[in-house]
Structure 1
């Protein structure tokens, strides 16, 4: 007999079953269309400036300078999920979708 069975624990990675059985999961997806890179960078900068110990060097390392913003990092900073009572965040990422119409103007 498997030792986990003696303790009443189940482990099925395909269904994320631990302890008392399968845990429900939910996926929330948001798709954003970037319309103003300067505004996005400024909002991300302001969020970073509100953090204790923030400085210009930290801002540039995290989201790049205003002249060459790291747009996906700005979005990740502003959209990262906050704690939801009774839940834990399993994964979070931001994918850039290059080649969409209008991307050339935003990259310049």
Structure 2
């Protein structure tokens, strides 16, 4: 393999695995139970405000207002995976489990 071909492989994530064979994959699963929607929203708000360009408008667009929080978005924001040396994140999602109370029931 010449130097140019090696450089192409380094810069194309889909091609890197061709010469290496199957890659190990791992799935990490965490199940959370919401106990305090207000604390969750405020923690997500603080994370957004601390980010570059963070402002109240960004907070409301991303996680909704405190009166009507987008709880799944709050969880997604706070649980987003950090970089793990030697790994790449292939997928990330947050699912609300069936049977959970509605936003109105939580607020009551």
1:47 aligns with 47
Residue correspondences, number: 92
1:91 aligns with 91
Give TM-score, length-normalised by structure 1: 0.78
Shift of 1:32: 0.2
Q: Which has the higher strand share?
A: 1
Shift of 1:53: 1.5
Q: Which has the higher helix share?
A: 2
Shift of 1:107: 5.8
Distance 1:60 1:41, change over 3 A: same
Question: 1:67-86: CA deviations, max 9, x gaps?
Answer: 00000000000000000000
What is the CA–CA distance in structure 2 between the aligned matches of 1:18 and 1:65, rounded to whole Å? 47
User: Which structure carries more relative contact order (alpha carbon 8 Å, separation 6+)?
Assistant: 2
Give TM-score, length-normalised by structure 2: 0.78
Shift of 1:54: 1.1
What is the CA–CA distance in structure 1 between the aligned matches of 2:31 and 2:65, rounded to whole Å? 24
What is the CA–CA distance in structure 2 between the aligned matches of 1:61 and 1:98, rounded to whole Å? 25
Q: Which aligned runs of 4 or more in structure 1 are off by greater than 3 angstroms? A: none
What is the CA–CA distance in structure 2 between the aligned matches of 1:95 and 1:107, rounded to whole Å? 20
1:75 aligns with 75
Structure 2 portions without partners, runs of 5+:
6-16
